[in-house]
C-alpha cells in the first residue's frame, strides 16, 4: 500500500466507538419524549422499573467483586495462593467452601473473583466451589433467611446444608471430570505479576476497571432478561402447585433460574409463596444463588460459553438434588 | 469499544448511580439501606474512570512531542518499500510492560496471537516465515510500523505510517531490519514506522531497531488508539480474530520501553496483502488493552441503565404490578406460617393510629386476638381498581423492586371514581371483621371513614 500524495498520508479517519456513543446519546436526547411515551404502557413501565432495580441493586456488589478481583490480581501472587490452599484439589475444595462463608459476596461479585482465582493458578474446581459457596452460605444470606422464616429455624440449617453440599459436590465433580479447555482461553490467561508498588496499584485499578466494564455489560443483559421474565411470567402458574410436590420442586427450581433474584432477597420471596410446602421453597433458595439466568450470562461472558453451557446444567441438577436431600433430612 | 468510550460510560454510569442516590429516586428501585452502597459504587466507578483517563492523557502528552518531530521528518519522505533483510522478529510476550520481539528467522509460521491475549497481557508471536512477504501496513492514527520478518532476507514491506503517530509497532527488537537503500532496494522509509524503530530509518531506510528501545514505548496514538482492525490476510493464525477493537493504551507502564514499544495505540489495519511474510507489526504492543475483544462489545450495554436512569427514570412499581399479581396466592409474608397470636403486640392506644399496610393486612388475617377490630387505622397507599372493587395497595420489597410483592385492602364505602389507578391517598379505616379469609385470598375489607389525596411518599415501598 504505497501512498504517494502527502494528503493521503494523513491518518485515515474511522468512525470510532466514541463517536458512535455520542451520536447515540444525541439521538436518545432528541427522542427522549418519544422514548418515554413508548415506554408508557404499564407492562413496559413495570419491566423498565424492574430492570433498573436489578442493575442498581447488583452494581454495587459487582463493584465490590471487581475490587476484590483486582486486589487478587495485583497483590496476591499465585505462589501465596498455592501455599494457602492444600495441594490436592479434592482437599482444597472444602477450604474454598469455608472461604465462601467468610467472604460475604453477592453472586455477581463472585464471578470475577472466581475467574481471577483461576488465572492465579488456583484449580478451577476450587474456584468454582468458591463461586457457588460465597453467595449462598454467607452470614448475610443466612440472617436474611432467618428473618424471612421466623418460625422455621431449620430452614436456615437446611439452606446452609443444601447450598454448601451443592458447592462441594460441584467442586469435586469438576475436579474429577472438568477440563481446562472448556474455559475460554482469554479467560484463564495469567496476568503477569506486577513489579513494584506503583505498577501494582496501576494494575489493581486497570484490572478492576476492565472487569467492571466487561462484567457490567453482562450484568445488564442478565438484568434485561430477568426483568422481561419477571413481567411476562404469569405468576399464577406456579402458585397453584400446593399439593403437587414433585411438580412444585421442578417449577420452583426453574423459577429460581428465571427470576434471578439476589441471594440476599430471595428468602423473602420464598417466604411469601406461602401456598407451597417448605421443600419446594428450599429448592428455590438453594438453586437461586447457584445458577440463574443473569449468572449464566455473566459466566458465559467471563469464563466462556463452552464452560457456561456445561457448568449451568450441572449446577442446576446438583443443586436440586442437594436441596431435596437437605430438605428431607432437616425439614 | 475503545478505552475512552469505556471510561466515558463508566463516568456516566457512576454519575447515574450518584444521581439517584442523592435525589432519592433510588428508593423506587431498592431499599433505603442500599443508599451507601450506591454512593460507594458510583464513586468507585468515577475514580476508576478518572484514573484511566488521567493515564491516557499523560501517555498522550508524552507522545505528542514525538509526533511533531515525526511529522516534520515525514514531510519529505516517501512511502517506503523496504526490503528487509533478515528481519528477525519474534515477539515473545508482552507482559504488562514489554513486548519483546525477537525473530526467528525462517520460522515457518506466523502465529499471531494478539487479540486473544487476555487481560493485560498479550503474547504475540509472529515470525515471518516466508521469504518474500509483502507487507503493507497502513495505520491510521498511530501508526505502526510493520515489522517484517522475512526470512529469507527479503520481505517487501510497505510501510506507510501515515499519520503522525508515533508509530509503533514493529517489533521492537527487531534486530535489524533494514529497509530501503540499505537493503539495496527499497525506497526510503517514510514516516510512520517508528515504533520500534522510530522512523529512524532515514532515507536510507535502515531502521534497526535493534535494541528496540528507541523511543518507542508509549505511543499511544492520539487518535488512533483503539480500534484496531485488521484486514489483512494473515494466514493463519488463529487466535487473532482481527476484529479489533483493541483499546490500546496500554500497558500499565509501558513506558519503560526497554524493549520496545510499550504501547501503541491502535493502528488500524494493516493490510497485508502479502502473503505470508507477514510482518506484522506487533500490535500488541499495547498490552494494555486488555484484550478480549470479545467482551468489550458487551460494554455497550452499560449505556442502557444510563439511558434508563437519565432519560426515562422509570417510576416505582404500582397498580400494574398489583394487577399482574392479582390471581396469585396470598403473599402475607412469614406470618402465614404460624398461628400467630403471640406475634402481634397490642396496638398502641389512641384515637386513630397509623400502621403500615403490611402490618394491617397481616393482623387482619392472622391475629387471633383480633387486635384491629373496632380500631380506626390510618393507612397510606395507592389506588387500584380491580373488577368492581377499589383497593388500597402498596408494594413491599425485600431488597429491590424485582422481588416486590403487593399487599392490599379492599375499601368499602368510598367513592374511588375520582381517584385513578396509582394515585396516592391516605385513608382512615376500620377493618371489617373476618373478611381476610381463604375465600378472599386473605385480602381484608375495610370501611372508610375519611379519605384524602396525598403526594407519593419518598419511599414508595414497605419493607
Residue B303: pLDDT over 80: yes
Q: How close is the nearest chain B Cα to the Cα of A310, in Å?
A: 20
Residues of chain A with C-beta less than 8 angstroms from the C-beta of B239: 185
B73–A contact, CB cutoff 8 A: no
pLDDT score of B65: 63
- Lowest-pLDDT range, A229-233, B10-14, B182-186, B397-401? B182-186
A7–B contact, CB cutoff 8 A: no
Report residue B151's pLDDT band, with 50, 70 and 90 as the boundaries: very low
Which value does ipTM take for this structure?
Answer: 0.77
Better pLDDT: B63 or B174: B63
Residue B233: pLDDT over 90: no
pLDDT score of A105: 67
- Lowest-pLDDT range, A74-88, B59-73, B367-381, B394-408? B59-73
Instruction: Name the residue among A21, A55, A203 with its Cβ closest to that of B96.
Output: A203
Report residue B62's pLDDT band, with 50, 70 and 90 as the boundaries: confident
Residues of chain B with C-beta less than 8 angstroms from the C-beta of A301: 295, 298
Tell me if A44 is assigned to some domain: no
Interface of A with B in 74-103 (CB under 8 A): none
B320: nearest CA in chain A? Answer: A42
- Lowest-pLDDT range, A219-233, B198-212, B322-336, B386-400? B198-212
- Interchain CB distance below 8 Å, A2 and B81: yes
Tell me if A13 is assigned to some domain: no
Residues of chain B with C-beta less than 8 angstroms from the C-beta of A117: none
Tell me if A3 is assigned to some domain: no
pLDDT score of B258: 32
pLDDT score of A247: 85
The mean pLDDT of B156-164, rounded to a whole number, is 34
The mean pLDDT of B201-225, rounded to a whole number, is 30
Residue B243: pLDDT over 90: no
Better pLDDT: B181 or A261: A261
A240–B contact, CB cutoff 8 A: yes
Instruction: Name the residue among B119, B141, B160 with its Cβ closest to that of A9.
Output: B160
A228: nearest CA in chain B? Answer: B402
A48: nearest CA in chain B? Answer: B314
Residue B178: pLDDT over 60: no
Report residue B44's pLDDT band, with 50, 70 and 90 as the boundaries: very high
Residues of chain A with C-beta less than 8 angstroms from the C-beta of B138: 1, 3, 12
Residue B214: pLDDT over 50: no
Q: What is residue A274's three-state secondary structure?
A: coil
- Interchain CB distance below 8 Å, A49 and B28: yes
- Interchain CB distance below 8 Å, A3 and B160: yes
Q: Where are the domains of chain B?
A: 3-68, 319-453
Q: How close is the nearest chain A Cα to the Cα of B449, in Å?
A: 30
The mean pLDDT of B281-301, rounded to a whole number, is 49
pLDDT score of A145: 85
Query: Which range marks the domain in which residue A319 is found?
Result: 49-330
Most confident of the ranges A95-104, A226-235, B105-114, B209-218: A95-104
B165–A contact, CB cutoff 8 A: yes
Q: How close is the nearest chain A Cα to the Cα of B299, in Å?
A: 5
Tell me if A237 is assigned to some domain: yes
B152–A contact, CB cutoff 8 A: no
φ/ψ region of B116 (left if φ > 0, alpha if ψ in -120 to 50, else beta) reads alpha
The mean pLDDT of B310-333, rounded to a whole number, is 74
Interface of A with B in 119-158 (CB under 8 A): 119, 144, 148-152
pLDDT score of B31: 87
Better pLDDT: B24 or B191: B24
Instruction: Name the residue among A151, A235, A269 with its Cβ closest to that of B403.
Output: A269
pLDDT score of B402: 80
Mean of all residue pLDDT scores within chain B: 60
- pLDDT per residue, tens digit, chain A (331 aa), is 444 444 445 555 667 777 888 888 888 888 888 888 887 888 888 889 989 988 888 888 888 888 888 888 788 877 887 788 888 888 889 988 888 877 766 777 788 888 888 888 888 899 999 899 988 888 778 888 887 787 788 999 999 999 999 999 999 999 988 888 888 877 777 666 666 777 888 888 988 898 888 788 888 887 888 788 778 776 666 556 656 788 888 888 988 888 777 777 788 778 766 667 889 989 999 999 999 888 898 888 888 889 999 999 999 999 999 999 999 999 8
> What percent of chain B has pLDDT above 70?
46
Report residue B171's pLDDT band, with 50, 70 and 90 as the boundaries: very low
Residues of chain A with C-beta less than 8 angstroms from the C-beta of B399: 57, 261-262, 264-265, 268
Q: Give the CA count within 13 Å in the CB-facing half-sphere of B270.
A: 38
Report residue B281's pLDDT band, with 50, 70 and 90 as the boundaries: very low
pLDDT score of B70: 54
- Interchain CB distance below 8 Å, B400 and A53: yes
pLDDT score of B266: 33
Closest CA to A72 of A115, A116, A105: A116
- Interchain CB distance below 8 Å, A17 and B302: no
Topology of the domain comprising B319-453? OB fold (Dihydrolipoamide Acetyltransferase, E2P) (2.40.50)
Domain count, chain A: 1
Asked if A276 contacts A248 with a C-beta cutoff of 8 angstroms, the reply is yes
pLDDT score of B11: 93
Most confident of the ranges A182-186, A275-279, B25-29, B266-270: B25-29
Give the tens place of pLDDT for each residue, B131-147.
Answer: 333 333 333 333 333 33
- Interchain CB distance below 8 Å, A11 and B141: yes
B6–A contact, CB cutoff 8 A: yes
Residue B161: pLDDT over 90: no
pLDDT score of A206: 87
Residues of chain B with C-beta less than 8 angstroms from the C-beta of A262: 399-400, 402-403
B162: nearest CA in chain A? Answer: A9
Amino acid at each position: 500500500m504505497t501512498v504517494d500524495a502527502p494528503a493521503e498520508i494523513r491518518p485515515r479517519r474511522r468512525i470510532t466507538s466514541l463517536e458512535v456513543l455520542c451520536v447515540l446519546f444525541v439521538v436518545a436526547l432528541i427522542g427522549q419524549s418519544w422514548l418515554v411515551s413508548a415506554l408508557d404502557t404499564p407492562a413496559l413501565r413495570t419491566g423498565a422499573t424492574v430492570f433498573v432495580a436489578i442493575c442498581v441493586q447488583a452494581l454495587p456488589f459487582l463493584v465490590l467483586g471487581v475490587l476484590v478481583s483486582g486486589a487478587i490480581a495485583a497483590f496476591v501472587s499465585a505462589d501465596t495462593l498455592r501455599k494457602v490452599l492444600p495441594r490436592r484439589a479434592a482437599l482444597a475444595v472444602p477450604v474454598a467452601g469455608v472461604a465462601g462463608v467468610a467472604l460475604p459476596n453477592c453472586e455477581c461479585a463472585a464471578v470475577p473473583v472466581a475467574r481471577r482465582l483461576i488465572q492465579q493458578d488456583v484449580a478451577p474446581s476450587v474456584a468454582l466451589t468458591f463461586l457457588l459457596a460465597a453467595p449462598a452460605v454467607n452470614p448475610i444470606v443466612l440472617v436474611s433467611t432467618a428473618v424471612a422464616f421466623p418460625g422455621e429455624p431449620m430452614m436456615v440449617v437446611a439452606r446452609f446444608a443444601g447450598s454448601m453440599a451443592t458447592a462441594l459436590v460441584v467442586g469435586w465433580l469438576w475436579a474429577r471430570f472438568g477440563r481446562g479447555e472448556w474455559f475460554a482461553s482469554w479467560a484463564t490467561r495469567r496476568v503477569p505479576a506486577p513489579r513494584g508498588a506503583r505498577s501494582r496499584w496501576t494494575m489493581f485499578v486497570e484490572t478492576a476497571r476492565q472487569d467492571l466494564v466487561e462484567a457490567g455489560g453482562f450484568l445488564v443483559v442478565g438484568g434485561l432478561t430477568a426483568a422481561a421474565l419477571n413481567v411476562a411470567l404469569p405468576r399464577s402458574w406456579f402458585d397453584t402447585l400446593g399439593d403437587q410436590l414433585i411438580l412444585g420442586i421442578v417449577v420452583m427450581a426453574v423459577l429460581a433460574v428465571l427470576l434471578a433474584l439476589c441471594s440476599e432477597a430471595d428468602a423473602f420471596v420464598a417466604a411469601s409463596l406461602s401456598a407451597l410446602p417448605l421443600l419446594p421453597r428450599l429448592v428455590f433458595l438453594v438453586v437461586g444463588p447457584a445458577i440463574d439466568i443473569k449468572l449464566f450470562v455473566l459466566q458465559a461472558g467471563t469464563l466462556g460459553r463452552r464452560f457456561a453451557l456445561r457448568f449451568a446444567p450441572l449446577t442446576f441438577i446438583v443443586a436440586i438434588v442437594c436441596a431435596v436431600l437437605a430438605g428431607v433430612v432437616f425439614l | 469499544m475503545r478505552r475512552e468510550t469505556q471510561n466515558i460510560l463508566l463516568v456516566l454510569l457512576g454519575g447515574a448511580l450518584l444521581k439517584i442516590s442523592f435525589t432519592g429516586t433510588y428508593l423506587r428501585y431498592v431499599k433505603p439501606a442500599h443508599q451507601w452502597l450506591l454512593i460507594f459504587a458510583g464513586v468507585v466507578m468515577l475514580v476508576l474512570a478518572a484514573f484511566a483517563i488521567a493515564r491516557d492523557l499523560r501517555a498522550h502528552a508524552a507522545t505528542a512531542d514525538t509526533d511533531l518531530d515525526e511529522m516534520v521528518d515525514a514531510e519529505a519522505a516517501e512511502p517506503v518499500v523496504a526490503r528487509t533483510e533478515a528481519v528477525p522478529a519474534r515477539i515473545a510476550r508482552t507482559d504488562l510492560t514489554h513486548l519483546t520481539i525477537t525473530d526467528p528467522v525462517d520460522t515457518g509460521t506466523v502465529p499471531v496471537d494478539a487479540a486473544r491475549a487476555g487481560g493485560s497481557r498479550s503474547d504475540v508471536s509472529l515470525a515471518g516465515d516466508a521469504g518474500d512477504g509483502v507487507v503493507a501496513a497502513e495505520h491510521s492514527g498511530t501508526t505502526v510500523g510493520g515489522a517484517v520478518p522475512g526470512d529469507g532476507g527479503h520481505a517487501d514491506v510497505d510501510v506507510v505510517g501515515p499519520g503522525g503517530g508515533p508509530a509503533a509497532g514493529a517489533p521492537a527488537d527487531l534486530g535489524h531490519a533494514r529497509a530501503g537503500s540499505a537493503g539495496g532496494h527499497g525506497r526510503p522509509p517514510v514516516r510512520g514506522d517508528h515504533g520500534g524503530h522510530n522512523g529512524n530509518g532515514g532515507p536510507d531506510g535502515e531502521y534497526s531497531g535493534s535494541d528496540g528501545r528507541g523511543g518507542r514505548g508509549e505511543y499511544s496514538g492520539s487518535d488512533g488508539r483503539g480500534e484496531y482492525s485488521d484486514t489483512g490476510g494473515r494466514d493463519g493464525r488463529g487466535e487473532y480474530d482481527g476484529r479489533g477493537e483493541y483499546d490500546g493504551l496500554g500497558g500499565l507502564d509501558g513506558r519503560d520501553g526497554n524493549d520496545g514499544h510499550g504501547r501503541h495505540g491502535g493502528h488500524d489495519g494493516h493490510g497485508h496483502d502479502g502473503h505470508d511474510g507477514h510482518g506484522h507489526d506487533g500490535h500488541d504492543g499495547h498490552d494494555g488493552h486488555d484484550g478480549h475483544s470479545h467482551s468489550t462489545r458487551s460494554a455497550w450495554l452499560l449505556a442502557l441503565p444510563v439511558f434508563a436512569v437519565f432519560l426515562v427514570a422509570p417510576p416505582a412499581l404500582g397498580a400494574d404490578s398489583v394487577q399482574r399479581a392479582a390471581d396469585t396466592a396470598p403473599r402475607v409474608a412469614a406470618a402465614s406460617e404460624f398461628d400467630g397470636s403471640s406475634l402481634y403486640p397490642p396496638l398502641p392506644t389512641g384515637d386513630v393510629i397509623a400502621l403500615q399496610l403490611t402490618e394491617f393486612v397481616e393482623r387482619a388475617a392472622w391475629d387471633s386476638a383480633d387486635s384491629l377490630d373496632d380500631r380506626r387505622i390510618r393507612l397510606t397507599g395507592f389506588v387500584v381498581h380491580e373488577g368492581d372493587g377499589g383497593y388500597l395497595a402498596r408494594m413491599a420489597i425485600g431488597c429491590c423492586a424485582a422481588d416486590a410483592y403487593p399487599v392490599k385492602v379492599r375499601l368499602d364505602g368510598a367513592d374511588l371514581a375520582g381517584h385513578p389507578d396509582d394515585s396516592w391517598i391516605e385513608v382512615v379505616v376500620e377493618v371489617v371483621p373476618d373478611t381476610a379469609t381463604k375465600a378472599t385470598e386473605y385480602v381484608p375489607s375495610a370501611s372508610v371513614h375519611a379519605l384524602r389525596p396525598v403526594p407519593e411518599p419518598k419511599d414508595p415501598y414497605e419493607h
